[in-house]
Structure 1
Amino acid sequence: MNARERIMMGAMDLFARDGIWSVTMDAIAAELGVSKRTIYENFKDKTELLREGIIAGGELHDKTLNEIVNNSPNVIDALYRIGKENHQTMQKINPRFFSDLKKHYPEILELVRRDYTAKSRKFMLKLFRQGADEGVFEKNINMDIVASVWMQLVDLAESTERGEVISDSWSVKEWHFHLFIPYLRGVSTDKGRALIEHYLENIEGVIKNEDIEEFIKNKGIIKNK
């Protein structure tokens, strides 16, 4: 990791922990044990540091999600793990980060929203089409619409993470369950719904391919339906 990357990652950790506006360049320098001159040799100002940090963080997150998909036995497993990864990521970010971004850096927020929406929609469309090929999702529905609706649900879920939408009587887990599971069931085949139920029964476990095949066999579901 070079000096620029170290500064960028260290600054983003501080922004996530304390919010953006309250973190000064002096605070970043002190936290990282470098001089302000070193920071300014790599970044013109805090705005550039924030913008480049968000872009780099997004690229790293994209890499993580692709690794999850590549290492998952089916798309239901991938969606569960992606949801868990996103939840854990959001839990590490102070809500002030988002309010500061909206209030003081609207141009960066707009850039992030455009980039995030485009990349995420493309990613989810590919994943839902993969699920149709696996026989997990129905093939006779428009996956462009399915992916678009899913992105709307994700936006609502992330609003929950930021504390913008949720009743005091609901847990975040309960809220997310009722957002995503009914929709997934609705676009799934019998095989897909069986997998969903299997995950709900073993929500914290790691499910192996042989476990999935045995479960499907016991339910009398044709594998390639």
Structure 2
Amino acid sequence: MKEKILHKASEMFLNLGFKSVTMDDIASELGMSKKTIYSHFPTKLKLVQSTTFFVLDNVNEAICSILSADLNPIKEVFTIKSIVNNQLKNEKSSPHYQLQKYYPKIFKQLKDKQFESVNECVINNLKRGIDQGYYREEINIDLITRFYFSGNMSLTNNDIFPLNTYGMSELKDAYLEYHIRAIATEKGLQTLIKILKK
């Protein structure tokens, strides 16, 4: 039952936003009483927190399956972007931004946990990219990893990138192209151009 609530709540929060979805809305969608939801999640705050980490775990699981596919490093980052977009429903309701605005403590916890998982993933991607000749040898891996993470986080800021002007998928594509062009060798650029043409 708890898992069922998390699935439905995450779907609604991602599509409609954390602020606008009420416990009544979730109960109605699930065809159950609000009391049943409260027996598993005593407050909306607790449900938002549980849902946030439930979604993060699902995203991380999807990323792990891509990492095990042993794609070239540039193809890997674009594949991860597509899978994450799919998991987050293209962030139509800007969940990151709403989380930061209405649930700052949960947002801080999420950001810390995201950095932890993204950090390892990006470092491995950069190292493989250098070893395989896709990325330049002289790049500062620690610095690039931090640039990548902070840049990615800023894409969800509605003040900088209003959703009615910039689609999240296009925004992430443009950011990835920017990131790869900054670190790629000639071989990496040729690979990037092939991916962009597709």
TM-score interval, smaller chain: 0.7 to 0.9
Distance 1:92 1:140, change over 3 A: closer
C-alpha distance in 2, partners of 1:98/1:76?
25
Aligned length: 197
Offset at residue 176 of structure 1 (A): 4.6
Give the match's secondary structure for 1:138: coil
Question: Does the 8 Å contact 1:19/1:94 carry over to 2?
Answer: yes
Extract unaligned runs of 5+ from structure 1.
204-225
Residue in 2 that maps onto 1:45: 43
Question: Does the 8 Å contact 1:153/1:180 carry over to 2?
Answer: no
For CA contacts below 8 A with separation 6 or more, give which structure has more relative contact order.
Answer: 2
Give the match's secondary structure for 2:156: helix
Distance 1:111 1:139, change over 3 A: same
Offset at residue 6 of structure 1 (A): 0.5
Does residue 119 (structure 1) correspond to residue 117 (structure 2)? The answer is yes
**TM score, norm. by length of structure 1:** 0.75
Extract unaligned runs of 5+ from structure 2.
none
Which of 196, 199, 209 is the matching residue for 2:195? 199
C-alpha distance in 1, partners of 2:39/2:173?
47
Offset at residue 172 of structure 1 (A): 6.0
Give the match's secondary structure for 1:137: coil
Q: Identity rate of aligned residues, in percent?
A: 22
C-alpha distance in 1, partners of 2:165/2:44?
39
Offset at residue 149 of structure 1 (A): 1.5
Give the match's secondary structure for 1:158: coil
CA offsets 1:132-188 (integer angstroms, 9 cap, x no match) = 2222212333211121122232123333xx474269887766655553324313322
Give the match's secondary structure for 1:135: coil
Question: Does the 8 Å contact 1:12/1:53 carry over to 2?
Answer: yes
Superposed, which structure 2 residues align to 1:1-40 within 5 Å? Answer: 3-40=1-38
Residue in 2 that maps onto 1:218: none
Distance 1:102 1:81, change over 3 A: same
Which residue identity does 2:149 align to in structure 1?
M
Does residue 179 (structure 1) correspond to residue 178 (structure 2)? The answer is no
Offset at residue 98 of structure 1 (A): 4.4
CA offsets 1:69-97 (integer angstroms, 9 cap, x no match) = 222521111111122233442524313x4
Offset at residue 51 of structure 1 (A): 0.4
C-alpha distance in 1, partners of 2:165/2:47?
39
Which of 185, 193, 196 is the matching residue for 1:189? 185
Task: Report which of the two structures shows the higher radius of gyration computed on alpha carbons.
Answer: 1
C-alpha distance in 1, partners of 2:170/2:25?
38
CA offsets 1:90-131 (integer angstroms, 9 cap, x no match) = 524313x44542333221111112211222122211211122
Give the match's secondary structure for 2:155: helix
